[in-house]
Structure 1
Amino acid sequence: MSHAENIAEDRAPGGARPPSRVRQLAAASIGNAVEWYDWYAYSFLAVYFAEQVFPTGAGNSLVPLLSTFAVFAVGFFMRPVGGLLMGAIADRHGRRSALTLTILLMGGGSLLVALTPTYTATGILAPLVLVLARLVQGLSVGGEFAASTTFLVESAGPGRRGLFSSFQYVSTTAGQLLASATAALLAALLTEQQMGEWGWRVAFLIGALLSLLGLWIRRGAQETLPQALNAVRAGETPIEKQAADRPGLFEALRRHPRQSLLICGITAGGTIAYYTWTTYLPTYAQVNAGFDKGEALTVGTLSLIFFALLQPLGGLLSDRIGRKPLLLGFSLGFAVLAVPLLHLVTDSFVSLLLVQCAGMVLLTGYTSVAAAVNAEVFPARVRAAGIGFPYSLTVALFGGTAPYVGTWFKQAGHAGLFPWYVAALCLVSFLVYLTLPETARQELEK
């Protein structure tokens, strides 16, 4: 009996019709979008609440913003812990258990950001509360990618892993788009002073409420982990047998060290390009070209719509021609074009929109297939933890620090070095992609 037949049998007690793959896709994607709305609202609203939470340095208006992006990076450094712990939960107890826990943590973190006091009122307590909130959210989002990636790819039908993989970034972008649109709407409706005083808190309160919606939706998701399905089908098993069947916390790293390093190489260029183009570029335009805050958010929103529409096309293309051509096109394109594209950013609305959309086209070569490529590296037994830790560690090192590094280069008077930094990391990943075998037509390892 095949893996798909086992799943269908388990999901259809009493002969009821099993849920469709479309339902599986929707359950993962909607919850994932809510999760990422909470995460990205921080970066879009950082320019508004920075001075509320951090003191201004003597004669330097960039100090609060730099401090806020430092906390943004701190949240990323909890992601490897989340990837390891939540990935282990997903491998031991099932993907659905991990997905439920991650969205609960994210909603709690978002509520804590909304309730963060000001530095004027509480002093050092304000940044401490913000750091705590981002640590909780970092733990959540580190586990989210591991669990949702494995869930999506394992839910896919034959020859459709690339398409299902693309919805990881369709839903991620939907959450980011909702966060960007919410920030842009608030900026349009409120004055600059109102946004700085209390308007930014509204977006985080909305995120906390949306997390409850995501939790309800995920309760309808069906398990895809073969071990968990077999345990349910067999009924209660002895504790000793359950423990023996479950992988250890570090089993993926211990038994698959080469694959773990491979995930790092696959991710390095993708994460720096992704966070630069989808998250940091509006702030980069404000800091380096004097771009208007509200218009920068509008450009970001429009380009994210374009980006989301591209993802399924990239996924379908990878199912037809393979993952490797898309990865090579992405990495070589950014290695060559990152510097000229970022140097084209001016205070012109059209200029920023064209630069952002051009980067989105290249970036799709990575984002539309990343989930499938990562999932195809590990067997099901350790797939979530195997992906979660090295992926999240690489994102923390290079993706989460991108806004901080870019702002630091500007403060140090070397803003022109940041595009070269992006290009160099993409070149490293290009060399890794050259060594990858093509996995698009191979059976997903059970």
Structure 2
Amino acid sequence: MTETLTPTHRPVRQLLAASVGNAVEWYDWYAYTFLATYIADQIFPKGSGSSLVPLLSTFAVFAVGFFMRPVGGLVMGAVADRHGRRAALTLTILLMGGSSLLVGVTPTYAAAGVFGPLVLVLARLLQGLSVGGEFAASTTFLVESARPGRRGLFSSFQYVSTTAGQLIASGVSAALVAALSGGQMAGWGWRVPFVLGALLSLVGFWIRQGAVETRSAGRQEVRPGLFDALRRHPRASLLICGITAGGTLAYYTWTSYLPTYAELNADVAKDDALWAGTIALAFFALLQPVAGMLSDRWGRRPLLLFFGVGFAVLSVPLLHALDGSFLMLLLVQSGGLVLLSGFTSISAAVNAEVFPARVRAAGIGFPYSLTVALFGGTAPYVGTLFKQIGNAGLFPWYVAALCLVSSVVYLRLPETAWGELER
């Protein structure tokens, strides 16, 4: 019989089970972004008219993976609602490990022709399915594990672990770039992080076997249908879309795409861009628990407005401030991440507080992942496309506009920090 959470269980055990697995999941996902330029050279043929064609193709595959996330959020969320959060968390990390290994062994275009890009697309589709399910399950698991008055703090570990995975991916990528020659990196070095990710997934799987179930085993209700959350809670579903839209675009711009944006638009050296990103992400991870605790004391809405209004006003001047130097990139990225912590630290708590326990995982997973796919997953592609058509300066305005839209939603959002969470 599955063990169910009680007040006697230590919270550190729950945080570790969720965080370690989540970090591994996101390490695998982000390694692709940091190594995009190497993958582009090896897997996609160069276009005759533009050297940006391979990079655009690589980011298009990145976006395709994102469009599997709503499916993962819906299906794995339903697994979490029907069979428990731990069952879904175990399944997602095994799926991520397999897909990471598949990226690592993808044949090059020179060796296998179009078969290479097809294998890469398949791997990214599986990764998208896994990551979409991971957010749905781990969000509910973390927030349901929290004691009263600590949901914001526990919520922050969603992005502590996500950022830790991203940080490891960035650090490993930067270390490989520094240690290997250009030929070695292009030939086989870019594959190393993905093989390592597959091995780390096994570690995450083992740790998650010790997780304690948070879904009440005493509930004898009929198991929810796949689309019950959407049919019975349409307003809550739309609310999550509005909450997430600006946050996900800002998040993927500042944490994933900014190094590439700086290379393309400010002539920042590739190794400088990777190291600046690594340092800024370490700082970002430290901000999460602080912001989460502030939300438990002051409420969710003030932090969301701090993020939304801040990005609406400062996105354009921050991105225009990039001048090719390592220091300026570090300052721009760190400044944006301070603002972004107002969203990331409490995203899990806000989402979980919107839905009842019966459909919480699937209810969060589908609208959240769909919004991330539409605005977060396409951020690198849109930014690179603006550059190719000669209007790179429009991208910062795009970020600012969407954050302004989300700010309007935050203004009308009911405060949920101090209410009871249905379990």
Task: Specify the TM-score bucket, using the shorter chain as the normaliser.
Answer: over 0.9
Tell me how far apart the structure 1 counterparts of residues 42 and 49 of structure 2 sit (CA, whole Å): 17
Work out whether residues 170 and 278 of structure 2, in 8 Å CA contact, stay in contact via their aligned partners in 1.
yes
Match of 1:311 among 273, 288, 299: 288
TM-score for the superposition, normalised by structure 1: 0.93
Identity among equivalent positions (%) equals 75
| 1:224-250 deviation per Cα after TM superposition (whole angstroms, max 9, x unaligned) | 001xx227xxxxxxxxxx7x6210000
Which residue of the partner structure matches residue 90 of structure 2?
100
Question: Cα offset for 1:445?
Answer: 2.4
- Is 1:258 the counterpart of 2:258? The answer is no
- Aligned positions of 1:26-425 closer than 5 A: 26-226=16-216, 229-230=217-218, 245-425=222-402
The runs of at least 4 aligned residues of structure 1 exceeding 3 Å deviation read none
The unaligned stretches of length 5 or more in structure 2 are: none
TM-score for the superposition, normalised by structure 2: 0.98
| 1:159-183 deviation per Cα after TM superposition (whole angstroms, max 9, x unaligned) | 0000000000000000000000000
Letter matched to residue 395 of structure 1: V
Tell me how far apart the structure 1 counterparts of residues 235 and 266 of structure 2 sit (CA, whole Å): 43
Which residue of the partner structure matches residue 238 of structure 1?
none
Tell me how far apart the structure 2 counterparts of residues 71 and 445 of structure 1 sit (CA, whole Å): 39
Counterpart secondary structure, 2:355: coil
Tell me how far apart the structure 1 counterparts of residues 5 and 192 of structure 2 sit (CA, whole Å): 42
Letter matched to residue 5 of structure 2: I
Question: Cα offset for 1:6?
Answer: 7.2
Letter matched to residue 100 of structure 1: T
Of structures 1 and 2, the larger Rg is shown by 1
Tell me how far apart the structure 1 counterparts of residues 224 and 339 of structure 2 sit (CA, whole Å): 37
Which residue of the partner structure matches residue 235 of structure 1?
none
Question: Cα offset for 1:59?
Answer: 3.4
Work out whether residues 5 and 145 of structure 2, in 8 Å CA contact, stay in contact via their aligned partners in 1.
no
Tell me how far apart the structure 1 counterparts of residues 189 and 377 of structure 2 sit (CA, whole Å): 25
RMSD (CA atoms):
1.2
- Is 1:442 the counterpart of 2:419? The answer is yes
Work out whether residues 27 and 169 of structure 2, in 8 Å CA contact, stay in contact via their aligned partners in 1.
yes
Counterpart secondary structure, 2:218: helix
| 1:60-107 deviation per Cα after TM superposition (whole angstroms, max 9, x unaligned) | 111101100000000000000000000000000000000000001100
Work out whether residues 4 and 214 of structure 2, in 8 Å CA contact, stay in contact via their aligned partners in 1.
no
Counterpart secondary structure, 1:439: coil
Q: Which moved more, 1:108-117 or 1:244-253?
A: 244-253
Letter matched to residue 195 of structure 1: M
The unaligned stretches of length 5 or more in structure 1 are: 10-17, 232-241
Tell me how far apart the structure 1 counterparts of residues 380 and 323 of structure 2 sit (CA, whole Å): 18
Counterpart secondary structure, 1:432: helix
What is the aligned residue count? 421
Letter matched to residue 140 of structure 2: T
Tell me how far apart the structure 2 counterparts of residues 377 and 19 of structure 1 sit (CA, whole Å): 25
